[in-house]
């Protein structure tokens, strides 16, 4: 970590992963930074209003300032306004979790969701996180819109997800990843089972702007016992229709316009 700015963001990222707070010594160990340097960064972030210290235990945690900024950004961008009706409809049709990720440079970041599961098992991971491209349905769907060379270059840049950290069937070789990408390209949407997480399945389709450029990805995810391959194939046309509706609505969002 070569700069104070980079170190500060690393501290914020670590605290975002620990909403209950993190001790100074634990943060320093996580970031492989000296205690004194970590303490100085935390004090400066606290002075700026992004971090606070729990007076009872002494742990450091994020304030709501970053959350407020993120919500304000999404609200002003118009993404949720144009996307939510489509996501709600797809969630009702599928009975599963539906999410929208937007292209953000070399990453995909989830920005909106709708939960269609009203009973039984419910899958609902964290929002606002960048997607691991090599072992996610969203990543495979995005890769399918690129050449094999472009997709592999981006996957190598981010790094392959490890089965121990994701699902037992997560691809760890170029050959395995290409099989997922080419299958998604052929059918128009991706399908995975126990690739992103154990006992979980998902599917995704790219969302294109008016000029054909990919601006996001829409996904359906749920327990494998319910979201079987047969059911995902049956939901394919519904997913593609939702992606088309989002593409048509994208002109109503400033963020989508920029990405298009």
Length of the chain as a residue count: 260
Task: Output the pTM of the full model.
Answer: 0.73
The tens digit of pLDDT for each residue in 43-102 reads 999 999 889 998 788 899 988 787 666 656 655 655 667 788 999 999 999 999 999 998
| Mean pLDDT across 162-191 | 96
The tens digit of pLDDT for each residue in 125-156 reads 555 566 889 999 999 999 999 999 999 999 99
What's the pLDDT at 1?
Answer: 46
Coil/strand/helix, residue 141:
helix
Q: In the chain, which residues fall in CATH 3.30.450.40?
A: 71-259
Percentage of the chain lying above the pLDDT 90 cut: 58
Angstrom distance (rounded) from CA 76 to CA 56: 37
The tens digit of pLDDT for each residue in 9-38 reads 899 989 988 888 999 999 999 999 999 999
Whether 250 contacts 215, CB under 8 Å: yes
Residue the block writes with tokens 């609902």? 124
- Count of CB atoms within 10 A of residue 208's CB? 18
Q: In the chain, which residues fall in CATH 1.10.10.10?
A: 4-63
Q: Could you tell me which residues come within 8 angstroms of residue 254 by beta carbon, excluding any fewer than 6 positions away? A: 76, 77, 78
CATH class belonging to 4-63: mainly alpha
Whether 61 contacts 54, CB under 8 Å: yes
Architecture of the CATH domain 71-259: 2-Layer Sandwich (3.30)
What's the pLDDT at 211?
Answer: 76
Q: Could you tell me the end-to-end alpha-carbon distance of the chain, in angstroms, rounded to an integer?
A: 33
Phi/psi for 219 (5° steps) reads -125, 155
DSSP state of 129: P
């Amino acid at each position: 970590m070569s700069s104070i700015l980079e170190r500060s963001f690393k501290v914020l990222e670590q605290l975002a992963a620990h909403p209950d707070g993190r001790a100074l010594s634990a943060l320093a160990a996580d970031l492989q930074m000296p205690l004194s340097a970590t303490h100085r960064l935390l004090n400066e972030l606290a002075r700026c209003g992004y971090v606070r210290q729990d007076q009872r235990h002494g742990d450091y945690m994020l304030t709501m300032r970053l959350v407020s900024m993120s919500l304000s950004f999404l609200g002003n961008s118009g993404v949720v306004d144009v996307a939510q009706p489509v996501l709600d409809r797809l969630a009702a049709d599928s009975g599963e979790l539906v999410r929208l990720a937007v292209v953000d440079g070399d990453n995909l970041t989830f920005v909106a969701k709708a939960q269609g599961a009203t009973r039984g098992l419910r899958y609902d991971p964290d929002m606002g996180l960048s997607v691991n491209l090599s072992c996610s349905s969203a990543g495979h769907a995005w890769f399918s819109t690129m050449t094999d060379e472009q997709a592999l270059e981006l996957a190598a840049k981010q790094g392959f997800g490890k089965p121990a950290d994701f699902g037992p069937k997560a691809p760890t070789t170029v050959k395995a990843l290409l099989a997922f990408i080419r299958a998604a390209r052929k059918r128009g949407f991706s399908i995975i089972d126990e690739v992103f997480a154990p006992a979980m399945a998902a599917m995704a389709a790219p969302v294109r702007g008016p000029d054909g450029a990919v601006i996001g990805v829409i996904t359906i995810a749920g327990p494998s016992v319910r979201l079987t391959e047969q059911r995902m194939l049956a939901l394919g046309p519904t997913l593609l229709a939702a992606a088309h509706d989002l593409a048509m609505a994208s002109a109503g969002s400033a963020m989508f316009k920029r990405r298009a």
